[in-house]
Amino acid sequence: MEQVAEQQGGIDSRVAAMEQRLARLDLQTQAAAGNAARAEGLLITFATRRSLERGAPLGYLADQLRLRFGDARPNAVQTVIDAAQDAVTLDQLIARLDGLAPSLSQAPSAQGALSWLSRELGELFVIRREDAPSPAAERRLERARLFLESGRVRSAIAEVRLLPNAAPAADWIQDAERYAAAQRALELLETTAILEQRDLRDGSGQRVEQLSPVDEVVEGASPPA
């Protein structure tokens, strides 16, 4: 009887050890699946960015954005999808700004002579012919173009808004703001793919339970001495 009891105890120990090992394997599988889902979500955002940069339709990417990020970031998803439906590229914004430059450099047609003179003196302390392009406006346009070329669209918009004759650029400003909003939304989705802990979903629509690798590193760090 004692031998039987010892054998039973050994079996129970082995069963408990096997159960612990299976539990660890299950956790490792969940972690691998969660990390894979995060990586896939990040790739989806990268592919979406490339499509927007080319002005191409999103196609299946729109469905993937809704599936994976719709719960976590619905507004950002909708912003990106709306921008793609009437896409504008950075090259198009630059070309259109170049086309608008002559009219944007001129003084507003309704501007009085006294107002024009005060503005020019305040900016340059140089009196020129009223129909001559403003050097200040030309420099502002140059800065706006440089901002566009470096991807700083919001800074370019700010420069164009400050032009004395910004009215002809109203449609350009609207499209540039839509482009900038889509870029901000994509940045948010990229961050969500890495850090979101609750509402991120995988390709089958299942919630990603695995913590972000960044959070795991923080949790696993040893406390300072």
Q: How far apart are CA 136 and CA 118, in angstroms?
A: 14
List, in sequence order, every residue forming a beta bridge with 49; answer none if it has no partner: none
Check residue 164 and give its pLDDT. 84
Instruction: Give tens-digit pLDDT for 191-204.
Output: 998 887 778 888 88
Of 92, 93, 68, the C-alpha closest to 80 is 68
Check residue 6 and give its pLDDT. 46
Instruction: Give tens-digit pLDDT for 73-123.
Output: 999 999 999 999 988 999 999 999 999 998 888 766 555 544 545 555 555
8 Å CB contact between 214 and 194: yes
User: At 214, is the pLDDT very low, low, confident or very high (cuts 50, 70, 90)?
Assistant: low
Residue 133 has pLDDT above 50, yes or no: no
Q: How far apart are CA 195 and CA 80, in angstroms?
A: 20
Burial of 191 (0-12, 13-18, 19+ CB in 10 A): middle
8 Å CB contact between 55 and 88: yes
Q: How far apart are CA 97 and CA 118, in angstroms?
A: 27
pLDDT higher for 92 or 216?
A: 92
This prediction has a pTM of: 0.70
The two three-digit tokens of residue 163, written as one number:
């032009």
Check residue 203 and give its pLDDT. 81
